[in-house]
Amino acid sequence: MEVKMEVGSDGVAVITISNPPVNAFAISIIASLKENVGVAMSRDDVKAIVLTGKHGKFSGGFDINVFQKVQQTGKLSLLPDLSIDLVVNRIEDAKKPIVAAIEGLALGAGLEVAMGCHARIAAPKAQLGLPELSLGIIPGAGGTQRLPRLLGLPKAIDMMLTSKPILSEEGKKLGLIDAIVPPQELLKVSRQWALDIADRRRPWVRSLHSIDKIGSLSEAHEIIKLARQQAKRTAPNLPHHQACLDVIEEGIVQGGYPGVLKEGKVFNELVVSDNSKGLVHVFFAQRATSKVPNVTDIGLKPRAVKKVAVIGGGLMGSGIATALIVSNIYVVLKEVNSEYLLKGIKMVEANVRGLVARKKLAQSQADKALSMIKGVLDYSEFKDVDMVIEAVIENLQLKQKIFSEIEKACPPHCILATNTSTIDLSLVGEKLRCQDRVVGAHFFSPAHVMPLLEIVRTEKTSAQVILDLMTVGKIIKKVPVVVRNCTGFAVNRAFFPYKQSAHILLLLGVDLFRIDRLIRNFGLPMGPFQLEDLSGYGVAVAVGKEFATAFPDRSFNSPVTDLLIRNGRNGKNNGKGYYVYEKGSKPKPDPLVLPIIEESRRLANLMPQGKPISVTDQEIVEMVLFPVVNEACRVLEEGIVVRAADLDIASVLGMSFPSQRGGIIFWADLVGSKHIYTSLKNWSEKYGNFYKPSRFLEERAMNGVPLSAPDPTSKTTSSRARL
Ligand SMILES: C[C@H](O)CC(=O)SCCNC(=O)CCNC(=O)[C@H](O)C(C)(C)COP(=O)(O)OP(=O)(O)OC[C@H]1O[C@@H](n2cnc3c(N)ncnc32)[C@H](O)[C@@H]1OP(=O)(O)O
C-alpha cells in the first residue's frame, strides 16, 4: 500500500496510488496522497501533476473497512477530511494543474477525486460511478456537487440514485471525461494535457464552480421534484435517497461550496445509520461467501465447465438452462418426450425474450444464447458434458433412477448436481459409486433472475466439485453460498416458520392485510400472504408437510390454506387468493376471503376467550420474524452455513429480506438477542411450542454474545472443520 511520485524531465509529477486489489483510499493512502500533492506543489521543477492508479485501476473509492470501524465504535473522528482538505484545498484549488489518468475504474471517492482534478483522461471501457447510495450513504467527497456540474442534473441524479456506473465512452459524450485514449498512451496524453493546462493551451476547469450544465433554478427544482417522487416509489424505505436529493438541491440553490459543506454534514449522519450498517455488512458478507474453508484455501484450481446437461424442462429446468446459455455455457436440455421438450425450449425462448425486453440482454446476445441450447430425449449427448443439473419433480425414486443412469452416461469427471429444494441429498446419490461428485445446486425461482445459488454439500462431496460449482455460479452471475445438507437447506429451513407465524397471528385475530402492510413497511417486497398467493397454495401445502415431518416439535398446522383451496382459491394462479388478481392492475385485498378466515379461526380456536388479541405494529413484525430468527439460530448451531454472514446474504438474495437490514442475523443482533429470547419465551407460554426459543438463542441471550459471533466450542465450529 503506497503512493509514489515520479517527476519527469518534462516537469510533470506522476503520483500513483497502489493499494491492491482496487486501490481503495485507505486512511494512509489519503494521508500519503495529501503529502505527495503538497511536495509536488512546493517543488520548483514540477509544473503540473498527473494522478493515476496502479494495477490498471484508478480507484474503487474510499476504504469501506473504515466505515465498518466507525459503525462499530461510533467514532466519526476516524474519518479523514477527504472532501475539503484533499479534494477542494489541495487538488481543485491547487496552483498547478492536476489531471486524472483513469484506467479500469473510478468509483465513489475515486471518481470524486478525479472530478476535483482539472481534467480527466480515460482508457476505453473504464467504469465511472458513485455507488455510495448502495452503502446507505451519499457521496462524501463532493460528488453530489461536481457530478451534476459536469453531467447535468438528470444523468447525475440517475447515476447516484441507481448506484450504476457508466463507461468512459458515455462519460466522454456527456462531458465527464475529456479524452479517451488507448491504455498504453494514457500517461503520455495525460502528461501533455496537464502541461497544456499549465501553459493555458487548454482550459483550467474547477468543476465545483461550473454552472453551464445546471440550467435555470426553476428547471433544477422541477427535475429534483420529479426525482423525489420517483425515489419515494422505488426506495420507500431508504431515506438516504431523499437526503441525497436535499444535498444536491442545496448546492443548486446556495452554490457548490455550501453544497459540499451540507454533503459532509449529511454524510456523517448517514454513515452511522442502521441502514448503512446493514448495507456495509451486506457488501462484505457477499464477498465473504467466496471464501470456503477447505475448499477455496487449499490450492485447488476450478476446472472449466463448458457443457452442461439440464434434466427436466419445467419452470426450474428452463430457468437454469436460460441462466447458463446467456452466460455462454452450452446446454443440452433433456425431457422425456417431444411435447415436454418443445414446451421447455419455448419457456427458455420466452425467458430470453423477457431479458431482452427488460434490456438485460442485447438482441445479438439473445440470438447467440439461443444457439447454445439443444433439446434431447436420450443420454447420447451426455458423453462429454462437464456437469448435469437434474431439475425434475420432487420424487426420490425418480431422482435416484436418474442419478444411476447419468452415472453411466456421463464422463468420470462430470459433476452430478440436483436442484432439489427439499429431498435429502445423501439419499439422492445413495446408490452411486461416485458420491463425491454429487452436489446440490439449489436455484431460486425464476432461476434466470434470482441471484442466489445454494450449493449443498454432503459429507462426501469433494472440495473440487464444490469449487467448480462455485465458479460456474459466478460465471452465470449468481452469488453461490455453500451450505450443508438438511431439510430446506439454509434459506427455506430458516424461513419455514415465516408463513406459519403469519398464519398464527391471523388465527389470533389480526387482520391479514395489516400484517402484509407492516411486513412491506419493514422492507420486504411483499407480505407473507401475498407471497403465498404468488407461490401457489399447492407449493405451500407440499412444503409445509416436509417441514412438519422434519420438525414436528415446532411446526404449526394451519387450516387456512386447505380451506382456501376448498373454496376454489389458488392464489395468483387462478386470480383468487387473499387478494384478487386482475390483468393490468395491482393485487387488491379481497373482502370475500374474510368469511373463510373467520371459519379458519373457529376451527383453530387460538384466540384467547374467542377474542382477537390486541397487538402493536411492532409486535406484529416481531411475531412474524422472531420465529425465523429462532430457526436461523438452529441453522447456525448445526453448522449448516460456514458463517452467520452467509445466512444474511442467503436471506437477502433468496428471501428478499431487506438488504438495508443487513440480513436476518445481522438484524437480529441489532434488535438484541435478549429481547428476541424474552419475547419468544413469553409467546411460547401463551401460544405454544411454535415459539419456544432454541437452545442457541437462549445461550447467546443469557451470555450477551451476538448471534453472529463464531463460537469456538460450538458444534458449528467442529462441523465447519469437517467441511
Ligand atoms: C467518501 C466517498 O464518497 C465514499 C466512498 O467512496 S464509498 C466507496 C464507494 N465505492 C464502492 O462502493 C465500490 C465498491 N467496490 C465494488 O463495487 C467492487 O469491489 C469493484 C467493482 C470495485 C470490484 O469488483 P470485483 O472485481 O468483482 O472485486 P470484489 O470481489 O468486489 O472486490 C475485491 C476485493 O476488494 C475489496 N474492495 C472493493 N472495493 C473496496 C473498497 N472501496 N474499500 C475496501 N475494500 C474494497 C473487496 O472487499 C474485495 O475484498 P476481498 O478480496 O478481501 O473479499
The DSSP element (H or E) to which 42 belongs, if any, is helix 27-42
Q: Phi and psi for 26 in degrees, rounded to 5? A: -70, 165
If one counts every other C-beta atom within 10 angstroms of the C-beta of residue 270, the result is 21
Is 140's C-beta closer than 6 angstroms to any atom of ligand 1? yes
Q: Could you tell me the CA-to-CA distances from 348 to 204, 255, 325, 445 in Å, in that order?
A: 54, 53, 9, 14
Report how far ligand 1's centroid is from the alpha carbon of 13 (Å): 27
**Percentage of the chain lying above the pLDDT 90 cut:** 89
Structure letter (DSSP) for residue 310 = E
pLDDT interval class at 530 (50, 70, 90): very high
- The whole-angstrom separation of Cα 282 and Cα 40 is 39
Question: Quick one: pLDDT at residue 464?
Answer: 97
Across the range 620-625, mean pLDDT stands at 98
Is 264's C-beta closer than 6 angstroms to any atom of ligand 1? no
Question: Quick one: pLDDT at residue 539?
Answer: 76
On whether the CB atoms of residues 136 and 270 are closer than 8 A, the answer is yes
Is 263's C-beta closer than 6 angstroms to any atom of ligand 1? no
Is 60's C-beta closer than 6 angstroms to any atom of ligand 1? yes
- The whole-angstrom separation of Cα 240 and Cα 235 is 9
| Statement: the pTM of the whole predicted model exceeds 0.90 | yes
pLDDT interval class at 629 (50, 70, 90): very high
Report how far ligand 1's centroid is from the alpha carbon of 286 (Å): 11
Q: Which of 380, 9, 411 is nearest to 195 (CA)?
A: 9
Is 648's C-beta closer than 6 angstroms to any atom of ligand 1? no
CA 584 from chain centre, in angstroms, equals: 29
pLDDT at 335 over 60: yes
Indicate which residue's Cα is closest to atom 29 of ligand 1: 287
* Residue 259 three-state SS: helix
Q: How many residues does the chain have?
A: 723
Is 165's C-beta closer than 6 angstroms to any atom of ligand 1? no
Q: Which residue has the cell 374474510?
A: 594
Give every CB contact of residue 376 below 8 A, 6+ residues apart in sequence. Answer: 332, 333, 334, 341
Q: Which residue has the cell 459532509?
A: 264
Q: Phi and psi for 131 in degrees, rounded to 5? A: -85, 15
| DSSP secondary structure of 145-182 | HHHHHHH-HHHHHHHHHH---EEHHHHHHHTS-SEE--
Across the range 546-550, mean pLDDT stands at 87
Is 677's C-beta closer than 6 angstroms to any atom of ligand 1? no
Best residue among 19, 22, 28, 162 to mutate for probing ligand 1's pocket (most ligand atoms within 8 Å of CB) is 22
Across the range 451-480, mean pLDDT stands at 96
Residue 389 bridge partners (DSSP): 310, 417
Q: Could you tell me the CA-to-CA distances from 559 to 484, 554, 573, 625, 687 in Å, in that order?
A: 32, 16, 20, 21, 16
Report how far ligand 1's centroid is from the alpha carbon of 22 (Å): 7
Question: Quick one: pLDDT at residue 536?
Answer: 84
* Cα-Cα-Cα-Cα dihedral sign, residues 43, 44, 48, 52: negative
Q: Phi and psi for 551 in degrees, rounded to 5? A: -130, 65
Strands 307-311 and 330-334: parallel
Report how far ligand 1's centroid is from the alpha carbon of 455 (Å): 25
Is 693's C-beta closer than 6 angstroms to any atom of ligand 1? no
Best residue among 1, 55, 64, 268 to mutate for probing ligand 1's pocket (most ligand atoms within 8 Å of CB) is 64
Question: Quick one: pLDDT at residue 125?
Answer: 97
Question: Quick one: pLDDT at residue 715?
Answer: 45
For residue 601, is it left (φ>0), alpha (ψ between -120 and 50) or beta? alpha
pLDDT at 711 over 80: no
Across the range 535-555, mean pLDDT stands at 85
Question: Quick one: pLDDT at residue 117?
Answer: 98
Indicate which residue's Cα is closest to atom 51 of ligand 1: 287
Q: Which residue has the cell 451540507?
A: 262
Question: Quick one: pLDDT at residue 577?
Answer: 95
Is 112's C-beta closer than 6 angstroms to any atom of ligand 1? yes
The DSSP element (H or E) to which 206 belongs, if any, is none
pLDDT interval class at 701 (50, 70, 90): very high
Grid cell at residue 429: 446419490
Report how far ligand 1's centroid is from the alpha carbon of 530 (Å): 36
Report how far ligand 1's centroid is from the alpha carbon of 202 (Å): 34
Grid cell at residue 669: 443482533
**Residue 434 identity (one-letter amino acid):** C
Is 108's C-beta closer than 6 angstroms to any atom of ligand 1? yes
Grid cell at residue 6: 515520479
Report how far ligand 1's centroid is from the alpha carbon of 60 (Å): 6
Q: Which of the residue ranges 97-101, 272-276, 366-370, 444-448 would you say has the lowest mean pLDDT? A: 444-448
Catalytic residue among 103, 132, 390, 631: 132
Give every CB contact of residue 480 below 8 A, 6+ residues apart in sequence. Answer: 289, 290, 453, 454, 455, 469, 470, 473, 474
**Residue 112 identity (one-letter amino acid):** E
- The whole-angstrom separation of Cα 87 and Cα 109 is 10
On whether the CB atoms of residues 649 and 289 are closer than 8 A, the answer is yes
Question: Quick one: pLDDT at residue 638?
Answer: 94
Q: Which of the residue ranges 37-51, 246-260, 535-549 would you say has the lowest mean pLDDT? A: 535-549
Q: Tell me, yes or no, if 112 is annotated catalytic.
A: yes
Q: Which of the residue ranges 68-72, 429-433, 679-683 would you say has the lowest mean pLDDT? A: 429-433
Q: Counting atoms of ligand 1 from 1, which one is nearest the CA of 130?
A: 9
Catalytic residue among 92, 103, 112, 622: 112
Upper half-sphere CA count for residue 69 (Cβ side, 13 Å): 12
- Tell me the average pLDDT of the chain: 94
Q: Tell me, yes or no, if 6 is annotated catalytic.
A: no
Residue 441 bridge partners (DSSP): 455
pLDDT at 108 over 90: yes
Q: Which of 15, 248, 252, 211 is nearest to 113 (CA)?
A: 15
Question: Quick one: pLDDT at residue 215?
Answer: 87
pLDDT interval class at 550 (50, 70, 90): confident
Give every CB contact of residue 435 below 8 A, 6+ residues apart in sequence. Answer: 426, 429, 458, 460, 461
* Cα-Cα-Cα-Cα dihedral sign, residues 93, 94, 95, 100: negative
pLDDT at 423 over 90: no
pLDDT at 717 over 70: no
Report how far ligand 1's centroid is from the alpha carbon of 289 (Å): 15
| DSSP secondary structure of 599-653 | HHHHHH--SGGGS-----HHHHHHHHHHHHHHHHHHHHHTT-BSSHHHHHHHHHH
On the 0-12 / 13-18 / 19+ scale of CB atoms within 10 A, 552 is exposed
Q: Counting atoms of ligand 1 from 1, which one is nearest the CA of 288?
A: 54
Is 197's C-beta closer than 6 angstroms to any atom of ligand 1? no
On whether the CB atoms of residues 79 and 70 are closer than 8 A, the answer is yes
For 204-246, the pLDDT digits (tens) are: 999 999 988 988 999 999 999 999 999 999 999 999 999 999 9
Is 62's C-beta closer than 6 angstroms to any atom of ligand 1? yes
Q: Counting atoms of ligand 1 from 1, which one is nearest the CA of 109?
A: 6
pLDDT interval class at 722 (50, 70, 90): very low
Is 131's C-beta closer than 6 angstroms to any atom of ligand 1? yes
Is 70's C-beta closer than 6 angstroms to any atom of ligand 1? no
- The whole-angstrom separation of Cα 128 and Cα 170 is 9
Question: Quick one: pLDDT at residue 396?
Answer: 87
* Residue 448 three-state SS: coil
- The whole-angstrom separation of Cα 532 and Cα 499 is 8
For 659-688, the pLDDT digits (tens) are: 999 999 999 999 999 999 999 999 999 999
**Residue 680 identity (one-letter amino acid):** L
Strands 479-484 and 452-457: parallel
Question: Quick one: pLDDT at residue 713?
Answer: 57
| CA max distance for the chain | 91
Q: b/e map of 221-249 (b: 16 or more CB within 10 Å)?
A: eebbeebeeebeeebeebebbebbbebbb
Report how far ligand 1's centroid is from the alpha carbon of 193 (Å): 29
Question: Quick one: pLDDT at residue 716?
Answer: 42
- The whole-angstrom separation of Cα 552 and Cα 554 is 5
Q: Which of 578, 584, 607 is nearest to 515 (CA)?
A: 578
Report how far ligand 1's centroid is from the alpha carbon of 522 (Å): 28
On whether the CB atoms of residues 697 and 677 are closer than 8 A, the answer is yes
Q: Which of 645, 664, 675, 557 is nearest to 291 (CA)?
A: 645
Give every CB contact of residue 292 below 8 A, 6+ residues apart in sequence. Answer: 466, 470, 482, 642, 723
Is 63's C-beta closer than 6 angstroms to any atom of ligand 1? yes
Indicate which residue's Cα is closest to atom 30 of ligand 1: 287
Q: Phi and psi for 458 in degrees, rounded to 5? A: -100, 180
For 158-214, the pLDDT digits (tens) are: 999 999 999 999 999 999 999 999 999 999 999 999 999 999 999 999 999 998 898
On the 0-12 / 13-18 / 19+ scale of CB atoms within 10 A, 436 is middle
Q: Counting atoms of ligand 1 from 1, which one is nearest the CA of 291?
A: 54
Q: Which residue has the cell 456527456?
A: 174
Question: Quick one: pLDDT at residue 712?
Answer: 60
Strands (E), 169-324: 179-180, 307-311
On whether the CB atoms of residues 560 and 506 are closer than 8 A, the answer is yes
